[in-house]
Amino acid sequence: MDKYLTVVMIFLIVTIPIAFITPATGTIREHPLIPLFYASIGGIIIIILYSSYKERKQKQKDNVKRRSKK
């Protein structure tokens, strides 16, 4: 996974508890921020899918290059 995707994923992981806990006081929210929770979960899923797609394409390129050298 690229460095910038890792940083974005860390921010998304940190926002999950923020949806349920008030950062200023540390208490549990009476009404959690459900859209924030689902947006961060969706972002994490998108990053994982994109990075696996990118790695698979790179592996295919490497295999074609390796086979053509023979």
Q: Which amino acid is at 50?
A: Y
pLDDT at residue 8, as a whole number: 93
**Domain extents in the chain:** 15-60
Q: How far apart are CA 35 and CA 27, in angstroms?
A: 19
Tell me how crowded residue 43 is: count the other CB atoms within 10 A of its CB.
16
**pLDDT tens sequence across 10-21:** 999 999 999 999
27: CB partners within 8 A, 6+ apart: 21
pTM above 0.85, yes or no: no
